[in-house]
């Protein structure tokens, strides 16, 4: 492995898709602070939009502006910092829903990335995903799903009670088993990785992964385009494939 300093570049795009009346996905990032977040909200009326944007705002605020701390959060105690930020975002949504009956039951998924120089921390709640594309031998897939979905069907697949094909067709495929805002406390999964120059991280909502297979996502990410061009290709492909749900993708590239 090279010892070159790694920098990061990012781009993101969110789209209502072709069937939904509004966009309940949200994203936010700060390359300067190394924080990247995608959320997919749920709930009646405007509740899903409120939940997802509250989560993005809270997590970004807490991970970018820790009073008096000049160092990036990842250089300190990253896991605790992320868990605290997610806990605070969860409480903000949960208590807002408790105060307003119209927002009752609102919640959101969250997938995020925290970058230090080389260390990368991926965290998730729900079924929004993080993938990493890394150059491999031509006969090997370079795309790896980092997160595990907190969804009923994916958990059935993992313990061998359902096949991936059955999961795709299941009427329970929308049921997620962990979300922000629906309970007083939530714990994210955390994945600590080492980035190499050239690594491309994709954070996305299920509106992308329900429409596009992993091999198709990999081939689109391999196109020789700037990051915003890749985001547009991914979103357009998901819309062309049906666009049943809101579609969001956030790309982060490690560069030497």
Applying CB under 5 A, the residues found at the interface with Ca ion are: 40, 205-207, 245
d(C-alpha 116, C-alpha 204), whole Å: 21
The sign one gets for the Cα dihedral 46, 52, 55, 56 is: negative
Nearer to Ca ion, 90 or 248 (CB): 248
Number of separate helices (H) and strands (E) present in the chain: 7, 11
Nearer to Ca ion, 25 or 58 (CB): 25
Phi, psi of 176 (to 5 degrees): -105, 150
Residues 6+ apart with CB under 8 A from 215: 141, 143
Report in angstroms how near the CB of residue 211 gets to Ca ion at its nearest.
Answer: 11
The string of DSSP letters for 175-243 reads -BS--BSSSS----EEEEEE--TT-EEEEE-HHHHTTS-HHHHHHHHTSS--HHHHHHHHHHHHHHTT-
Report in angstroms how near the CB of residue 85 gets to Ca ion at its nearest.
Answer: 22
Report in angstroms how near the CB of residue 130 gets to Ca ion at its nearest.
Answer: 15
Nearer to Ca ion, 43 or 207 (CB): 207
Phi, psi of 220 (to 5 degrees): -70, -40
Report in angstroms how near the CB of residue 176 gets to Ca ion at its nearest.
Answer: 10
Phi, psi of 141 (to 5 degrees): -75, 135
Nearer to Ca ion, 28 or 207 (CB): 207
Report in angstroms how near the CB of residue 128 gets to Ca ion at its nearest.
Answer: 8
Report in angstroms how near the CB of residue 40 gets to Ca ion at its nearest.
Answer: 4
Helix (H, G, I), strand (E, B) or coil at 164: helix
Nearer to Ca ion, 49 or 206 (CB): 206
* CA 198-202-205 angle, 5° bins: 175
Nearer to Ca ion, 49 or 245 (CB): 245
Is residue 246 a contact partner of residue 25, using CB atoms and an 8 Å limit? Answer: yes
């Amino acid at each position: 492995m090279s010892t070159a300093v790694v920098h990061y570049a990012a781009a993101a795009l969110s789209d209502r898709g072709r069937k939904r009346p509004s966009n309940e996905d949200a994203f936010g990032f700060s390359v300067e602070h190394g924080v990247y977040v995608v959320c997919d909200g749920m709930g009646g009326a405007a509740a899903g939009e409120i939940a997802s944007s509250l989560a993005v705002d809270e997590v970004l605020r807490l991970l970018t502006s820790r009073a008096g701390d000049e160092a990036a959060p990842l250089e300190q105690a990253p896991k605790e910092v992320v868990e605290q930020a997610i806990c605070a975002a969860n409480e903000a949504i949960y208590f807002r829903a408790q105060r307003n009956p119209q927002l009752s039951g609102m919640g959101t998924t969250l997938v995020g990335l925290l970058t230090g120089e080389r260390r990368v921390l991926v965290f998730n709640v729900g079924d929004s995903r993080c993938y990493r594309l890394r150059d491999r031998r031509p006969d090997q897939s370079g795309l790896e799903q980092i997160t595990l979905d907190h969804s009923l069907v994916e958990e059935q697949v993992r313990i061998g009670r359902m096949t991936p094909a059955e999961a795709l067709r299941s009427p329970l495929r929308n049921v997620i088993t962990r979300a922000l805002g629906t309970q007083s406390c939530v714990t994210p999964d955390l994945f600590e990785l080492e980035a190499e120059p050239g690594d491309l991280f994709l954070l996305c909502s299920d509106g992308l992964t329900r429409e596009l297979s992993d091999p198709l996502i990999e081939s689109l990410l391999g196109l020789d385009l700037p990051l915003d061009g890749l985001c547009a290709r991914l979103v357009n492909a998901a819309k062309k494939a049906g666009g049943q749900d809101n579609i969001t993708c956030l790309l982060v590239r490690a560069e030497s």
